[in-house]
Amino acid sequence: MDQAQVLLDGLWEPFSFLSLFGYICLGILLGSFIGLLLALFLQRRGWLARRKRWHHWLLKLHFLLLPLGGAVLGSQGGMLYGGQQQVHRHLESYAPLVQVVAGGVWLEFERFFAEQDQHALGQQLQRMSVQEVLNQLAAQYVQEQLLAHAPQLDGASLSERVGLKLYEQLQQQLLSVAVRDMAVEQAGKYSGVKPQVILDVLDARVEQLFHADFLLGLLKQQLSQVLKPFYLTLLVLLALMLGLVAAEVLLSRYLGQWRVEGAAPALASAEPQVQ
């Protein structure tokens, strides 16, 4: 119980509610300002003027509803972004500990290569990417399969040998692609990591996997992928709000409810002539 309390305190220690409150307030101000600018833009363009007086004054609520909607969406966006920044700073606080653990694992690898007297292999592995290591393993597998059938090709002609070489290259390419796809699928299935993060791991050098900055960068990227649906939800809500405003404007124009400039003065000047 005490260990759980210590862990909980360690998780909440770098979390700052003041900073999160600042992001929320900033989002509210920014959303309200954008909503007010949109209402003023509609007013200046004359898209809020209607023939019927009650309809005309009802649309004045745009000056209240648009800033209010912007404030709500801005507060949610500020909360998401502020929480994401808090988690990033939390992860960065663990960088020294992660570097110590990763450096210890890499030293174990170097010690293993030293015991096996394979310093060249260790240096080569250090410069290669994870995908290149998988490609090399796939190439070795194909070559072993071809060597198993080598006695049957002693009497082969030159064209047959060239065709066999091309077939070997094709097998290596197809097997490399299959291994990459399988690694992404299986790693995502058992770990829940997004495919883009796994692809970044495959494209990284083996040495980078033992650096704290790279590992924490992967965690931040995974967090961004997890929060992406929430940001998309806010964008959908914003598009829905703007779509409702645009639908009202277009429908009013289609039904002839727009107030035409100059129509009222013309009617007023015509009344004395009739009298």
Task: Give the model confidence (pLDDT) of 8-48 as tens digits.
Answer: 455 556 667 788 889 999 999 999 999 999 988 888 887 77
Under 8 Å between Cβ of 157 and 182: no
pLDDT of residue 7: 43
Single out the residue of 8, 123, 2, 25 nearest to residue 74, CA to CA.
25
Judge whether residue 163 has pLDDT over 50: yes
Under 8 Å between Cβ of 212 and 101: no
- Summarize the confidence of residues 132-155 as an average pLDDT: 67
pTM: 0.67
Instruction: Kindly indicate the confidence band of residue 250, based on its pLDDT and cuts at 50, 70 and 90.
Output: confident
pLDDT of residue 30: 94
What CA dihedral angle connects 70, 75, 79 and 81, to 10 degrees? 30
Task: Give the model confidence (pLDDT) of 80-131 as tens digits.
Answer: 999 888 888 888 887 888 888 878 877 777 777 666 656 666 666 667 777 7
Q: What is the 3-state secondary structure (H, E, C) of 189-233?
A: HHHCCCHHHHHHHHHCECHHHHCHHHHHHHHHHHHHHHHHHHHHH
Q: Is 189 left (phi over 0), alpha (psi -120 to 50) or beta?
A: alpha
pLDDT of residue 68: 92
Single out the residue of 226, 197, 196, 247 nearest to residue 47, CA to CA.
247
